[in-house]
């Protein structure tokens, strides 16, 4: 097969056009079935018991009363009592047992009837307070990393040299920002919680699983069940959010399958909101003390930081690699401390590490501007030569576009110097980000039938991003058909293997495999069509519903006429893509700039987003409608973690206090202001091919909103989320110190 | 959820007759927006649930020259839509602030007044007082009481309507504890601060229930409510105030101010109201009244910021009463 490419920019028939989701009507009418909607005849309902203590050892478990509850059919113990590690519970909500019953109510009653004897141990849940963590013996060095322009002499100790050199560079700097920032852990909180309905068909398991990893989960079920992956089918047509937390079968998926096997009845086990928030995914927290030295223009020359945080029991904090974020000044030292907490292990949260990196460091760059009394925009622009991804020019252009869209130049005022309307002040802030987004490995099977029908099969999934529609568009483009003519089959592990939807890898992966598969199928068709049109197969193209000799509309067959030449036999063609394989169809590496305009009520500390601009490149834009949706979603999630979302833990008990939707606050429609999305797609980007978009737009909001609030108040609210309490505390601290 | 018996009586007396005489053994169900969640989390585990939704006498709004009478089973959005409530714009504002179509259309007025505290220690099964208040005092008390918290109760009253209804001088009609018993009392007397886990946050007995809320007619007064809301949606405000003044040429002749979300009951700030009498209501006096209102606050370890929010709530509610811009969001 010749090396494939996309049509030149502006020449594509389908790709790049705003195509409405092909599954939109199914989703909006309720016809679409999510894992939560799947019910099977004779199904049992399963509920889980979570440990009520943040840290404990299980001495004994007595499930006899639970087994007596009317309707209870099975009780499975998931944690072993005793003395060993396996009996230790490391966070509140960790799963102890599962009860399956004829009704949901009976299952819950069964859970409540389980008697567990605990030895309660000391929990630690407040990692923001480093001294307390040290005192509790919960910290461990995560290493450091030093980069200096000058090198130590042969006889000098490297660490001593670094201390002296950094002190010298800070001394020489025109301005030094010495600051503290933080970003708390948040949960994935998908509206559809984790879970599955497990049905055995003879010796085969059919798991209707809410997953972003259709092809990768059968083996995860099989191994603990003592069967092989060929005896497991995972099915997921629709998923109500995953955000990086739904790659696994999970212990509760396996236990549902086990109970289904033992009882001979299907088992439905979806986490309730409480255990969803406590077990099924969160993002590591990060807190940082930093000194930054810059010149009068705001160009940063030295960065010296110490950050800490947690991902739960193992204590891994935010990666060093994102500190400082995108900018990489000539001299930097970063130290890391791990803090072990009695909180659930984190999972990949949309753009792992990056949102924290931005919030912990681009705030400091903004504080350089504040301290110098100059425009943050200029400081960001002047520091672009130090960006670590080689995209300084792209950022510069995106900054100009974003600034126009938010009217930066006319609205900007020095930090804290804007006009107040009553107690309301307004401000502007910005941040920039980067991500990979290269395609994952993906295989598909494209079929063309003698009656003209076209379908494609792949074990991918639509994470809610419009994957089905994108696949239909790519196949349609390749075969000269409208997207509606292509039937897309995804969401079943029996189909050809395709990667998990994580890390913005799906759109490039499935575009690659389907462009290749559809091209291969068309080549097969061309072999039959060519003789009829007195041409060679390589001269055949499919355009506008017709199969024709390249550039010769009058030497053509309609699509149906062409397909009729197949006789009785359909074409089946594979499309294959291996991650990392160099190709003209896709690429990786994006930039992105976001700017926020906020209003803050100084008397109450309430922050409102007025306008938010997101300028984003993603190579070739397959579908501008779904691309924009992705960005809206990312920005809204960003607003949520910047202003609202936070896990609240009780120090004495380790209890996760707000694990419900009435007190774990998310952004609502009225909270998001006006969001303006600009897809940045000059020819230089278009020709790079398809690049994933899931992560980038969620990275910058924390820093951009923090910077905007700082610009409004003239005072930094150092820790996200910026609740009224934190805003008022920052204002009070500033008024005391001045 | 624990299995329970369910009754759906048609008349008030039948409901009273069904109720158990021990708190928690039976619960009243109206809109269910609070009770059902509490039952699912097994914070309450009644053996009997008595629905009031088919009791016709408890539904609807009527008016005469002396005021309006609202059935406790009337849905919040019926108040929003009713012209009979046009004389009480602050009540409509308080309902609009709840900012959720689901809650507005499902919640009843009586249920809104009776909803249990949102205290996360209570909601996580530590009991209404959470170990005689110790969990709250030593724990996460950022949303807890800054007034009335010297006893074991540290939670804040959850009702968003109570402060404004109390400012308007609302009375409630209560039936029980025996069938045929009925009494009328100021809404203010309905709330009380529990001293032990056997008590609840109201003065009613287990076999009593609110059937009607009565608002006096008083066209000469003006009333406003201000809530510090973190964002859109139904989340609880961080502080709230309802102010009700009779003004003559801008001078306050009578005033009532109640705070919400700051104490185990709606909180009457009489000193501030008294101070206002005889003064011209303007930006300055509104601010000063706010300061007087919070002068005796007793914040816990993490909620001192709520003192500021309560102060601002009073100031802004009074500014609205005076016809001024509230001065903030």
The reply to whether B96 touches chain A by the CB within 8 Å rule is: no
Average pLDDT of the residues in B63-74:
97
Alpha-carbon gap, residue A121 to A101, rounded angstroms: 32
DSSP secondary-structure letter at A451?
A: T
Whether residue B139 lies within 8 A of chain A, CB to CB, comes out as yes
- Give just the sign of the alpha carbon dihedral A516, A519, A523, A525: positive
For residue A737, the model assigns a pLDDT of 84
**A439-577 placed in CATH 3.90.1300.10:** no
Measured in whole angstroms, the distance separating CA A590 from the mean position of its chain's CA atoms is 15
Predicted ipTM beyond 0.90 = yes
Query: From CA B36, how far away is CA A386, in angstroms rounded?
Result: 56
Question: What is the phi/psi pair of residue A502, to 5°?
Answer: -150, 145
Helix (H) or strand (E) holding B290: helix B283-294
DSSP codes of every residue in A122-159: -----TT-HHHHHHTT-EEEEEEEEE-SS---TTS-HH
**Mean pLDDT across the stretch A43-50?**
98
In this model, does residue A654 exceed pLDDT 80?
Answer: yes
Burial B248-278 (b: 16+ CB within 10 A, else e): eeeebebbbbbbbbbbbbbbbbeebbebbee
For residue B214, give the nearest of B173, B251, B271 by alpha carbon.
B173
Using CA atoms, how far residue A53 sits from A89, A466, A654, B35, in Å, is 8, 41, 6, 25
Topology match between the domains A35-122+194-270 and A282-437+587-737? no
DSSP single-letter state for residue A36:
G
**Among candidate residues B42, B32, B51, the one with its CA nearest the CA of residue B123:** B42
Give the mean model confidence (pLDDT) for residues B298-302.
98
Phi, psi of A151 (to 5 degrees): -105, 150
What size, in residues, is chain B?
329
Instruction: Please return the burial class of B318, using the count of CB atoms within 10 Å of its CB with bins 0-12, 13-18 and 19+.
Output: buried
Q: Taking CA atoms, what residue in A is nearest to B121? A: A657
Q: Report the topology of domain A35-122+194-270.
A: Aldehyde Oxidoreductase; domain 3 (3.90.1170)
Min Cα distance A735 → chain B (Å) is 15
Average pLDDT of chain B to the nearest whole number: 97
Query: Taking a contact as any Cβ pair under 8 Å apart, which residues of chain B between 212 and 271 contact chain A?
Result: 228-235, 238
3-state secondary structure of A670: helix
Nearest alpha carbon to residue B225 among B177, B258, B187: B258
**A420 close to B (CB below 8 A):** no
Contacts of A290 (CB under 8 A, 6+ apart): A177, A178, A179, A180, A181, A303, A304, A305, A306, A307, A360, A361, A364
Q: What angle do CA A690, A694, A700 make, to 5 degrees?
A: 115
Residues of chain A contacting residue B308, judged by C-beta atoms under 8 Å apart = 603-604, 728
B80 vs B104: CA distance, rounded Å: 9
Calculate the alpha carbon distances from B233 to A273, A665, A666, B91 in Å: 19, 10, 10, 18
> Mean pLDDT, to the nearest integer, of A662-686?
97
In this prediction, residue A86 carries a pLDDT of 85
Give the pLDDT band (50/70/90) at residue A2.
Answer: low
What number is the average pLDDT over the span A597-616? Answer: 98
CA B289, CA A241: separation in Å to the nearest integer? 49
Nearest chain A residue to B287 by CA distance is A603
**Each residue of A678-718: pLDDT tens digit?**
999 999 999 999 999 999 999 999 999 999 999 999 999 99
> Residues A505, A499: contact at Cβ < 8 Å?
yes
* DSSP conformation letters of B25-90: TEEEESS-TTHHHHHHTTSS--SEEEE-TT-GGGS-EEEETTEEEEETT-BHHHHHH-GGGTT-HH
Confidence class of residue A738 from pLDDT cuts 50, 70 and 90? confident
For tokens 């007759």, what's the residue? Answer: B17
Nearest to B139 among A104, A651, A671 (CB): A651
DSSP line for B241-274: EEEEEEEETTEEEEEEEEEESSSSS-EE-HHHHH
Measured CA to CA, the distance from residue A171 to residue A169 in angstroms comes to 5
Mean pLDDT over A120-140 rounds to: 97
Mapping DSSP to helix (H, G, I), strand (E, B) and coil, where does residue A352 land? Answer: coil
Instruction: Return the residue of A nearest to B327 by Cα.
Output: A422
Write phi, then psi, for A478 (nearest 5 degrees): -70, -35
Residue A683 CB: number of other CB atoms within 10 A?
10
Task: Name A642's Cβ contacts closer than 8 Å, sequence gap at least 6.
Answer: A701, A702, A705, A706, A720, A721, A722
DSSP A238-295: B-S--TTS-SS-HHHHHHHHHHHHHHTS-EEEE--HHHHHHHS-B---EEEEEEEEE-
Query: Where are the domains positioned within chain A?
Result: 35-122+194-270, 282-437+587-737, 439-577
Which residue in A has a C-alpha nearest to residue B38's C-alpha?
A: A660
Helix, strand or coil, per DSSP, at residue A676 = strand
> Residue A279: its pLDDT value, please?
98
Q: Which residues of B touch A649 (CB under 8 A)?
A: 140
How many CB atoms within 10 Å of residue A169? 22
| Among A78-82, A420-424, A730-734, B15-19, the least confident range | A78-82
Which residue in chain B has the smallest CA separation from A725? Answer: B305
Nearest CA-CA distance, residue B217 and chain A, Å = 34
pLDDT given for residue A24 in this prediction: 95
Between chains, do A671 and B142 touch, taking CB under 8 Å as contact? no
- Is residue A1 scored above 60 in pLDDT? no
Average pLDDT for chain A: 97
d(CA A319, CA A117): 38
The tokens for A153 are 């002499």
ω before A721 within 30° of 0 (cis)?
Answer: yes
Q: Does domain A282-437+587-737 have CATH number 3.30.365.10?
A: yes
Region for residue A374 given its phi and psi (left: phi exceeds 0; alpha: psi -120 to 50; beta: otherwise): beta
Chain A: give the shortest CA distance to residue B233, in Å.
6
Q: How many residues does chain A have?
A: 738
Question: Going along B153-231, which residue ranges are E strands?
Answer: 171-175, 182-186, 209-216, 221-228
Residue A403: pLDDT over 60 = yes
- What confidence tens digit (pLDDT) does each residue in A543-584 have? 999 999 998 999 999 999 999 999 999 999 999 999 999 999
Mean pLDDT of A243-264: 98
Structural contact between residues A609 and A5, judged by C-beta atoms closer than 8 angstroms: no
The answer to whether the pTM exceeds 0.95 is yes
Contact status of B295 with chain A (Cβ, < 8 Å): no
User: Which residue matches tokens 């549902």?
Assistant: A256
Q: Which of A604, A668, A672 to mutate to test the interface with B (most CBs of B within 10 A)?
A: A604
Residue (of A575, A462, A461) closest to A513 by Cα position: A575
pLDDT at residue B297 greater than cutoff 80: yes
Residue A501 φ then ψ, to 5°: -90, 90
State residue A82's pLDDT score: 87
Q: Distance between terminal CA atoms of chain A?
A: 71
Short-list A496, A573, A488, CA closest to A527: A573
Nearest alpha carbon to residue A321 among A307, A302, A300: A307
């Amino acid at each position: 097969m010749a090396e494939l490419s996309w049509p030149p920019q502006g020449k594509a028939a389908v790709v790049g056009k705003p195509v409405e989701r092909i599954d939109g009507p199914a989703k909006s009418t309720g016809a679409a079935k999510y894992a939560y909607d799947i019910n099977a005849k004779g199904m049992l309902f399963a509920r889980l018991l979570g440990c009520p203590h943040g840290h404990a050892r299980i001495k004994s478990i007595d499930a006899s009363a639970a087994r007596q509850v009317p309707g209870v059919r099975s009780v499975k113990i998931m944690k072993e009592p005793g003395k060993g590690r396996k009996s230790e519970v490391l966070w509140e909500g960790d799963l102890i047992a599962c009860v399956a019953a004829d009704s949901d109510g009976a299952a819950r009653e069964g859970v409540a009837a389980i008697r567990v004897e605990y030895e309660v141990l000391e929990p630690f849940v407040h990692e923001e307070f480093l001294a307390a963590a040290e005192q509790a013996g919960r910290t461990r060095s995560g290493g450091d990393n030093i980069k200096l322009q000058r090198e130590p002499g042969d006889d000098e100790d490297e660490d001593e040299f670094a201390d002296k050199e950094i002190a010298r560079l800070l001394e020489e700097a025109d301005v030094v920002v010495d600051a503290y920032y933080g970003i708390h852990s948040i949960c994935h909180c998908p509206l559809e919680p984790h879970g599955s309905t497990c049905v055995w068909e003879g010796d085969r398991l059919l798991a209707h699983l809410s997953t972003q990893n259709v092809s990768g989960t059968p083996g995860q079920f099989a191994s603990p069940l003592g069967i092989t992956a060929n005896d497991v089918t995972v099915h997921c047509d629709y998923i109500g959010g995953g955000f990086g937390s739904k790659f696994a079968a999970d212990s509760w998926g396996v236990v549902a399958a086990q109970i289904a096997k033992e009882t001979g009845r299907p088992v439905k086990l979806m986490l309730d909101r409480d255990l969803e928030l406590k077990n099924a995914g969160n993002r590591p927290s990060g807190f940082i003390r930093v000194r930054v030295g810059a010149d009068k223009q705001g160009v940063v020359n030295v960065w010296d930081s110490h950050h800490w945080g947690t991902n739960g029991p193992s204590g891994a904090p935010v990666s060093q690699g994102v500190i400082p974020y995108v900018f990489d000044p000539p001299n930097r030292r970063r130290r890391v401390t791990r803090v072990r907490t009695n909180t659930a292990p984190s999972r990949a949260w949309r753009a792992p590490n990056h949102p924290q990196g931005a919030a912990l460091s681009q705030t400091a760059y903004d504080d350089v501007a504040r301290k110098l009394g100059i425009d943050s925009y200029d400081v960001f622009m002047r520091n672009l030569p130090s960006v670590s991804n080689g995209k300084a020019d792209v950022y510069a252009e995106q900054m100009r576009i974003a600034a126009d869209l938010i009217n930066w130049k006319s609205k900007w005022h020095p930090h804290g110097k804007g006009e107040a309307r009553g107690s309301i002040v307004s401000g502007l802030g910005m941040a920039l980000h980067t991500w990979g987004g290269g395609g994952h490995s993906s295989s598909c099977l494209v079929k063309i039938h003698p009656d003209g029908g076209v379908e494609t099969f792949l074990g991918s999934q639509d994470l809610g991003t419009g994957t089905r529609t994108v696949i239909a568009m790519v196949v349609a483009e390749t075969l000269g058909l409208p997207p509606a003519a292509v039937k897309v089959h995804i969401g079943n592990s029996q189909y050809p293997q395709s990667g998990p939807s994580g890390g913005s890898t799906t759109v490039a992966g499935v575009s690659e495999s389907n462009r290749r598969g559809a091209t291969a199928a068309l080549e097969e068709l061309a072999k039959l069509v060519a003789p009829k049109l007195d041409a060679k197969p390589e001269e055949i193209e499919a355009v506008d519903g017709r199969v024709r000799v390249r550039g010769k509309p009058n030497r053509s067959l309609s699509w149906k006429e062409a397909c009729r030449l197949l006789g009785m036999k359909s074409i089946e063609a594979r499309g294959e893509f291996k991650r990392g394989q160099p190709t003209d169809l896709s690429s990786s590496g994006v930039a992105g700039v976001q700017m926020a305009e906020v209003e803050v009520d100084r008397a109450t500390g309430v922050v409102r987003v007025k306008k938010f601009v997101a300028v984003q490149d993603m190579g070739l834009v397959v579908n501008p409608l779904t691309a924009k949706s992705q960005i809206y979603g990312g920005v809204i999630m960003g607003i949520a973690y910047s202003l609202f979302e936070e896990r609240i833990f009780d120090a004495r008990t380790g209890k996760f206090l707000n694990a419900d939707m009435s007190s774990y606050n998310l952004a609502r429609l009225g909270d998001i202001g006006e969001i303006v999305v600009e897809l940045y797609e000059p020819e230089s980007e278009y020709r790079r091919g398809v690049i994933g978009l899931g992560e980038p737009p969620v990275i910058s909001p924390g820093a951009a909103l923090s910077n905007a609030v700082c610009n409004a108040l003239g005072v930094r609210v150092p820790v996200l989320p910026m609740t009224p309490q934190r805003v008022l505390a920052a204002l009070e601290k500033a008024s005391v110190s001045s | 959820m624990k299995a329970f018996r369910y009754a759906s009586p048609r008349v008030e007396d039948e409901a009273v007759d069904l109720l158990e005489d021990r708190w928690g053994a039976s619960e009243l169900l109206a809109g269910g927006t609070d009770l059902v969640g509490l039952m699912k989390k097994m914070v309450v585990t009644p053996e009997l649930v008595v629905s009031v939704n088919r009791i016709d006498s408890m539904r609807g709004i009527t008016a005469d020259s002396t005021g309006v009478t609202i059935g406790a089973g009337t849905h919040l959005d019926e108040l929003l839509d009713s012209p009979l409530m046009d004389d009480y714009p602050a009540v409509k504002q308080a309902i609009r602030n709840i900012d959720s179509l689901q809650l507005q259309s499902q919640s009843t007025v009586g249920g809104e007044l009776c909803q249990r505290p949102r205290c996360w220690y209570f909601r996580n099964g530590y009991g209404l007082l959470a170990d005689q208040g110790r969990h709250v005092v030593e724990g996460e008390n950022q949303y807890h009481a800054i007034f009335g918290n010297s006893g074991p109760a540290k939670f804040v009253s959850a009702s968003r309507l109570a402060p404004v209804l109390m400012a308007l001088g609302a009375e409630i009609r209560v039936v029980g504890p025996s069938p045929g018993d009925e009494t009328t009392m100021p809404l203010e007397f309905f709330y009380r601060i529990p001293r032990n886990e056997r008590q609840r946050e109201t003065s009613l007995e287990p076999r009593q229930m609110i059937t009607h809320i009565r608002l006096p007619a008083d066209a000469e007064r003006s009333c406003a409510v201000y809530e510090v809301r973190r964002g859109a949606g139904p989340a609880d405000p961080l502080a709230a105030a309802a102010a009700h003044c009779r003004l003559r040429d801008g001078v306050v002749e009578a005033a009532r101010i109640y705070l919400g979300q700051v104490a185990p009951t709606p909180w009457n700030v009489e000193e501030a109201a008294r101070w206002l009498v005889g003064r011209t209501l303007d930006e300055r006096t509104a601010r000063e009244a706010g300061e007087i209102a919070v002068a005796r606050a007793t914040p816990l370890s993490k909620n001192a910021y709520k003192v500021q929010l309560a102060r601002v709530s009073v100031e802004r509610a009074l500014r609205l009463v005076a016809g001024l811009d509230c001065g903030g969001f």
